[in-house]
Each structure stands twice: as structure tokens, then as C-alpha cells.
Amino acid sequence: MEGRRVSSAYRWASRLLRADNLLRETYPYHPVRESIWQDTAELRQRLADKGWHQCASPVDLMVALTAARMWMPISKRSPA
């Protein structure tokens, strides 16, 4: 019985490691500015002033702000 638990734990750890590696390959690490929360709040306010306050989530805004500051291209469509 103990051998099964060890084997199961090993398989779980192996799957977790593969998933973590895939995540890091798919979404590489990019540093963000210390002011990202403040920048996001300001952008949300500017969008609200134009009536576009429900167009993007805070996470979407953080990604867009980070990409814009790093001169990274931003897709205009969500991946299907």
C-alpha cells in the first residue's frame, strides 16, 4: 500500500513539474513596474471617463500596460 502512495505522489509531482514547465514556456516571465496597480487604476478611470469602463478586466489592463511599456505587440483578438 505504501508503494502505491509513493508512486502516486511521484506521478503527481511529475505532472506538476511538466505543467509548470509548459506554463513557463508558454507565458515567459516579464517584470512589471512597482506602480502597476496605480497605473491600472488610472487607466480604468480614463476608460470610465469615456464610458468604456467594462471593456477589460484589471488583469487585462495590467497585461496591456506591461506590454505597452515593454514595446510588445498586443493581440486585438482573444485566442480561440
pLDDT of residue 42: 92
- Residues 8 and 22 placed together within one structural domain of the fold: yes
pLDDT of residue 40: 92
- Residues 57 and 41 placed together within one structural domain of the fold: yes
Q: Is the pTM of this model over 0.75?
A: no
pLDDT of residue 79: 55
- In the chain, what is the straight-line distance between the N-terminal and C-terminal CA atoms, in Å? 44
Tell me the C-alpha distance between 71 and 6, whole Å: 47
- Residues 48 and 72 placed together within one structural domain of the fold: yes
- Residues 2 and 17 placed together within one structural domain of the fold: yes
Q: Give how many domains the chain has, as a whole number.
A: 2
- Residues 15 and 51 placed together within one structural domain of the fold: no
pLDDT of residue 9: 81
pLDDT of residue 17: 93
Residues in the chain predicted with pLDDT less than 50, given as ranges, are: none
Range of the domain at 20: 1-30
